[in-house]
């Protein structure tokens, strides 16, 4: 199998071009086609000689993500379901900074990307792990989500018309002339445990951060983890200044053990020490993601433990009301219970927010669109036999 060209950094491409006896400016031209222009084929690289394009095609793959389905509309949260070259499916979610509440266009967008097909970590409330883990994403498949979403956003109106009300589009990738930056922030919180695919993720983020690549500032990139202690320590020692978010969802071992199997391997005490190490090495604000689930972690007796952790690590807490996942028994607490949890936390001097926007409902149920689509096509296949 050929190496995908979007898995290569500028240094690797320069070394290859040098070996071919080609001048360095040809690499700059190639990178301009791949990133600002986000092309989908070699033929579109019109200022590269034909012979070089043929040589590139012989040496590298240029695989694109194929859009299967999308939900949402312009200036609300948009969820994309992609098919990869081996047929596996993943999701990405685009969240506008201002979700069009007053009818104006939003100029800043955060993209939530996936890092694995499925997930092995089996958090009890999550759809992504329901069918288990299939594989890690390659560097180019992580980078490719940003490029593909930006291409789609450029052509969004025609795509919406083609999709109709069902949100099913099944469209081949189309390159755009270029080049408005659509994605300004990245959160690595989609399907999969990001730090379980450490090497590919870090390389992809370096490409997305590079001025010759995605051009997204390191401080605008947040990596989330359910609590992989060794990798948090490894990340603390990286020179890049990516942000860290811990998917905490419980402030005691009792609660975390109940809903997050990872806590049995890396209990809170170890997680806290790894976060303290990260804090000391990177000295930047980290975030605790805390999904409020009725009867599981929304009792006020969690607040003192959560507040102690947040104060020690100078972490901000994001409270997220749970979004129901088909087939799972959990529900979100009432609005008044959510507000009471927030108020109790604030009273303890913790910086925290409660997500209230209705437009974000589809993002917390990450993994559901893939699950439903895969099950539908399995059922359809069975029906045809
Ligand atoms: S919450 Fe994250 S780590 Fe846990 S099962 Fe879902 S995708 Fe995996």
SS (H, E, C) 151-208: HHHHCHHHHHHHHCCCCEEEECCCCCCCCCCCCCEEEECCCCCHHHHHHHHHHHHHHH
Q: For atom 3 of ligand 1, which residue has the closest CA?
A: 193
Tell me the pLDDT tens digit for each residue of 98-130: 654 444 556 688 999 999 999 999 999 998 878
Atom of ligand 1 nearest to the CA of 127: 6
366 — pLDDT class (breaks 50, 70, 90): low
Length of the chain equals: 385
User: CA-CA distances (angstroms) from residue 254 to 161, 259, 305, 355?
Assistant: 49, 9, 12, 25
91 is catalytic: yes
Tell me the pLDDT tens digit for each residue of 30-62: 999 999 999 999 999 999 999 999 999 999 999
pLDDT score for 169: 55
43, 58, 91, 126: the catalytic one is 91
- Please give the distance, rounded to the nearest whole angstrom, from the Cα atom of residue 126 to the centre of ligand 1: 6
373 — pLDDT class (breaks 50, 70, 90): confident
> Span 355-369, mean pLDDT?
57
Is 170 or 182 the better-scoring residue by pLDDT?
182
- The yes-or-no verdict on residue 203 having pLDDT over 90 is yes
Query: Residues of the chain with pLDDT > 70: what percent?
Result: 83
- Please give the distance, rounded to the nearest whole angstrom, from the Cα atom of residue 216 to the centre of ligand 1: 25
> Span 186-206, mean pLDDT?
97
pLDDT score for 384: 40
User: Which of these ranges, 90-94, 131-135, 157-161, 264-268, has the smallest mean pLDDT?
Assistant: 157-161
- The yes-or-no verdict on residue 89 having pLDDT over 70 is yes
Across the chain, mean pLDDT equals 88
Structure tokens at 292: 């409020």
75 — pLDDT class (breaks 50, 70, 90): low
Distance CA 119, CA 130 (A): 8
Tell me the pLDDT tens digit for each residue of 240-284: 889 999 999 999 999 999 999 999 999 999 999 999 999 999 988
> Span 126-150, mean pLDDT?
94
Cβ-contact 4, 39 below 8 angstroms: no
pLDDT score for 271: 98
pLDDT score for 72: 84
74 — pLDDT class (breaks 50, 70, 90): low
pLDDT score for 364: 44
366 is catalytic: yes
DSSP 5: G
Q: Which of 76, 46, 39, 33 is nearest to 357 (CA)?
A: 76
Q: Which of 53, 150, 42, 164 is nearest to 92 (CA)?
A: 150
Number of other CB atoms surrounding residue 77 within 10 Å: 24
The helix, strand and coil proportions of the chain, stated in percent and rounded to the nearest 5, come to 45, 20, 40
pLDDT score for 98: 61
Atom of ligand 1 nearest to the CA of 247: 1
Structure tokens at 129: 């792990």
pLDDT score for 362: 45
- Please give the distance, rounded to the nearest whole angstrom, from the Cα atom of residue 195 to the centre of ligand 1: 11
- What secondary structure does DSSP assign to 102-156, as a single string? TSPPP--EEEE---EEE-SS--TT-STTTT-EEEEPPHHHHHHHHHHHHHHHHTH
- Please give the distance, rounded to the nearest whole angstrom, from the Cα atom of residue 121 to the centre of ligand 1: 6
Q: Which of 55, 84, 81 is nearest to 70 (CA)?
A: 81
- What secondary structure does DSSP assign to 50-87, as a single string? HHHHHHHHHHEE----EEEEEES-TTS-EEEEEE-TTS
pLDDT score for 173: 57
User: CA-CA distances (angstroms) from residue 80 to 146, 157, 204?
Assistant: 11, 15, 19
Structure tokens at 185: 């922030």
Structure tokens at 330: 């959990």
User: Any idea what the Cα angle at residue 75 is, between residues 69 and 77, rounded to 5°?
Assistant: 50
Tell me the pLDDT tens digit for each residue of 295-340: 999 999 999 999 999 999 999 999 999 988 888 999 999 999 999 9
User: Which of these ranges, 107-111, 189-193, 200-204, has the smallest mean pLDDT?
Assistant: 107-111
Distance CA 350, CA 340 (A): 14
The Cα diameter of the chain in Å comes to 68
Which residues lie with the beta carbon below 6 Å from any ligand 1 atom? 119, 121-123, 126, 128-129, 191-193, 226, 247
- Please give the distance, rounded to the nearest whole angstrom, from the Cα atom of residue 137 to the centre of ligand 1: 15
112, 119, 352, 366: the catalytic one is 366
Q: Say if domain 3-61 classifies as CATH 2.60.40.10.
A: no
pLDDT score for 327: 85
């Amino acid at each position: 199998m050929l190496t995908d060209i979007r898995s290569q950094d500028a240094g690797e491409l320069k070394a290859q071009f040098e070996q071919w006896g080609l001048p360095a400016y040809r690499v700059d031209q190639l990178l301009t086609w791949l990133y600002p222009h986000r092309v989908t084929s070699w033929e579109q690289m019109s200022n590269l000689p034909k012979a070089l394009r043929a040589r590139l095609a012989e040496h590298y793959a240029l695989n694109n993500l194929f859009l299967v389905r999308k939900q949402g509309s312009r200036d609300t949260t948009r969820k994309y379901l992609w098919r990869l070259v081996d047929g596996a499916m993943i999701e990405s979610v685009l969240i506008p900074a201002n979700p069009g509440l007053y009818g104006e266009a939003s100029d800043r967008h955060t993209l939530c990307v996936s890092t694995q097909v499925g997930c092995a970590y089996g958090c009890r409330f999550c759809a992504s792990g329901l069918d288990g883990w299939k594989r890690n994403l390659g560097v180019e498949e992580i980078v490719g989500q940003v490029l593909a979403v930006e291409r789609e956003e450029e052509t969004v109106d025609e795509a919406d018309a083609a999709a109709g009300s069902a949100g099913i589009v099944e469209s081949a990738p189309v390159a755009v002339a270029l080049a408005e930056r659509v994605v300004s922030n990245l959160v690595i919180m989609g399907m999969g445990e990001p730090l379980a695919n450490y090497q590919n993720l870090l390389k992809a983020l370096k490409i997305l951060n590079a001025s010759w690549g995605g051009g997204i500032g390191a401080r605008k990139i947040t990596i989330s983890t359910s609590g992989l202690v060794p990798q948090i320590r490894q990340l603390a020692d990286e020179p890049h200044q990516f942000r860290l978010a811990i998917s905490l969802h419980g402030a005691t071992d009792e609660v975390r053990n109940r809903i997050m199997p990872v806590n049995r391997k890396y209990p809170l005490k170890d997680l806290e020490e790894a976060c303290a190490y990260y804090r000391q090495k990177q000295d930047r604000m980290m975030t605790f993601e805390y999904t409020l689930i009725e009867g599981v972690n929304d009792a006020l007796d969690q607040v003192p433990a959560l507040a102690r952790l947040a104060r020690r690590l100078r972490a901000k807490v994001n409270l997220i009301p749970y979004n129901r996942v088909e087939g799972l028994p959990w529900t979100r607490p009432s609005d008044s219970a959510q507000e009471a949890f927030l108020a109790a936390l604030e009273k303890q001097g913790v910086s925290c927010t409660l997500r209230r926007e209705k437009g974000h409902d589809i993002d917390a149920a990450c993994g559901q669109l893939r699950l439903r689509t895969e099950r539908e096509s399995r059922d359809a296949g069975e029906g045809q036999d």
